[in-house]
Amino acid sequence: MIDHPDAAVVPPVGRDTAQVQCWSVPLEQALAQMLARSMSRAFAPIEEALMLRELIDTHGLSQREAAQQCARDVSWVNRRLVLLGELPQDLLQAVRSASVSAWAGTRIFAPLARANTAHASTLLHGMQTHGLSTRELYAWFAHYQRAQRSEPEHMVQHPRLFIVSV
């Protein structure tokens, strides 16, 4: 853990490593700073939305205050929050608990939920029972988007069977 700019960085020894910064600020200010800065990777829109929801619901900030603290405009905050409104609660909980990655939530489940909420919920349940890797989920969704007639319904009911049969 790095808690001071002058602290030594230990080189990795064949394991995953994470850089950590310790900030002596209140949680709401730290969340806002995380959204304002681009750290080692860009956040997925759903991750940004969840952090904004935390700022607004838990810390009582208005959308305008959250936008100011994150160095964004109010429309950006609103667009992120709309994303949360489009997703079923069970999917949001799956993303929060990391049983569904933010990538899958943003790239697969959000568009699927916009098109067919029932299919998104059914797929989520099927994934929790018969897990799919991100690569399998990507292949599944690519085929789902091209599927004809009753095929999408079968794919959603049995996502693992589709992957095995391809």
Reduced to 3 states (helix: H, G, I; strand: E, B; else coil), residue 70 is coil
Main-chain phi, psi angles of 32, to 5 degrees = -65, -40
Question: Which residue, among 77, 74, 72, 70, has the nearest Cα to 32 in the 3D structure?
Answer: 70
User: pLDDT tens digits, residue range 79-116?
Assistant: 888 778 777 888 888 887 888 887 888 789 888 988 89
pLDDT range class, residue 144, cuts 50, 70, 90? very high
Long-range contacts, 134-140 (Cβ 8 Å, 24+)? 134/101, 134/103, 134/104, 136/163, 137/104, 137/108, 138/107, 138/108, 139/163, 139/166
pTM metric for this prediction = 0.62
User: pLDDT tens digits, residue range 122-132?
Assistant: 999 888 777 88
CATH number, span 1-86: 1.10.10.2830
Q: What is the pLDDT of residue 68?
A: 93
Please check the confidence at residue 1 and state whether its pLDDT lies above 50. Answer: no
Calculate mean pLDDT across residues 21-47. 79
Domain regions of the chain by residue span: 1-86, 103-166
pLDDT range class, residue 13, cuts 50, 70, 90? low
Q: What is the pLDDT of residue 25?
A: 87
Distant-in-sequence, close-in-space partners of 131: CB < 8 Å, separation ≥ 6: none
Identify the bridge partners of residue 2 per DSSP, sorted by sequence position.
21
Q: Report which of residues 131 and 8 the model is more confident about.
A: 131
